[in-house]
Amino acid sequence: MSVTAGIVVLAIAGGAFLLGRGGVGGSDDNNASGSGDSGSSAPPQGRGRQNPLIPAPGGPQDPGNPQDPGSPQDPGAPGGGSGGLDGAPQQPQAGPGVVTDAASGISIPILKGWTGLSGAAGANVSTGDYTCPGDATQKCQRAGVTSLPGLNDKGLSAKETAEKDIKANANASYGGKVYGKISSHQQLKAEAVTVAGQKGYLVRWKVVTAKGDDGYVQSLAFPSPSTPKVMVVVQSGFDVSDGAPKLSVMDQITSGIKVASGGAGGAGQGV
């Protein structure tokens, strides 16, 4: 995926790490086709997608004010790196373990064979780097999951948020130059769920791409367990490929999202 399936590799502090690109919403010329989308907001991330940038530590983004994926938020660290909870750049953490999204008050499991990155406002786990099908200069991922906290000042429900985000997620993960236009999609799930003790909602699509593998994308929304006015959006993208994790792993990660222990810590903790 183009992060969520594809990822952008950024240099930081003598090393390279994968970041998810940020923003709930945005715009994309190659919109996912078909109905079933309650909003017109564009792109977050996806399967072979380029990795979504974790939002800047300066504060959560407004889900009602989408950010163009072509101009990600300033991660707040030299070289495009995400600032850590103490202001220092964070390095990728190999699984098993967890990553922590401090602004959302949640942790996301890092499975064996995956890597993760914690952030002051956002977190990401991913696996399976490969050369993007439509752009050999970029790296995509077979699967990725990114959390994006946003201020819910418009009072949207979890259902409204997830339904508004799914099309953006699909376009960011599997549309554009990397995967070409999304020709069609099939809705696989749209249901209420409980995540980290909160009542949430998820929408899952299977999308057909013009280039490379097709993909599964999921947008999950729920109120932050630590800050009710913050709505957390967790975007997932998995390639439809023998080289990608099974779709059941998406469910495993979704069910493994927990309330962050200790608030600030989390990166690299065992599970």
Please identify, in words, the CATH class of the domain defined by 3-259. Answer: alpha beta
What local confidence, expressed as pLDDT, does residue 177 receive?
Answer: 85
Q: Determine contact, residues 174/2, Cβ cutoff 8 Å.
A: yes
Determine the Cα–Cα distance for residues 24 and 161; give it in Å rounded to an integer.
9
pLDDT tens series, the chain, 271 aa = 765 333 222 222 222 222 233 334 333 334 555 433 333 332 233 344 433 433 333 333 444 443 333 333 332 222 223 333 344 456 788 889 999 999 999 999 999 999 999 999 999 999 999 999 988 999 999 999 999 999 888 899 999 999 999 999 999 999 888 888 899 999 999 999 999 999 999 999 999 999 899 999 999 999 999 998 999 999 999 999 999 999 999 999 999 999 998 643 334 444 3
Going by C-beta distance under 8 Å and a sequence separation of 6 or more, which residues neighbour residue 172?
2, 4, 21, 26, 28, 42, 43, 44, 45, 46, 49, 52, 69, 235
pLDDT digits (tens, 9 = 90+) for 194-249: 999 999 999 999 999 998 999 999 999 999 999 989 999 999 999 999 999 999 99
Residue ranges of the domains in the chain? 3-259
What's the confidence (pLDDT) of residue 257?
98
Mean pLDDT value across the chain: 73
| pLDDT at site 67 | 35
In contact, 147 and 233? CB cutoff 8 Å: yes
Residue 54: closest CA among 109, 15, 17 = 17
pLDDT of residue 91: 72
Q: How far apart are CA 176 and CA 174, in angstroms?
A: 7
Percent of the chain that is helix, strand, coil (3-state, to 5): 10, 40, 45
Locate 42 and state its tokens. 């564009």
Please give the DSSP secondary-structure letter assigned to residue 108.
E
Degrees (nearest 5) of the Cα angle 220, 222, 225?
A: 135
**Distance separating alpha carbons of residues 52 and 19, to the nearest angstrom:** 6
Whole-number pLDDT of residue 15: 22
DSSP-derived 3-state class of residue 98: strand
- Contact residues for 113 (Cβ-Cβ < 8 A; gap 6+): 95, 127
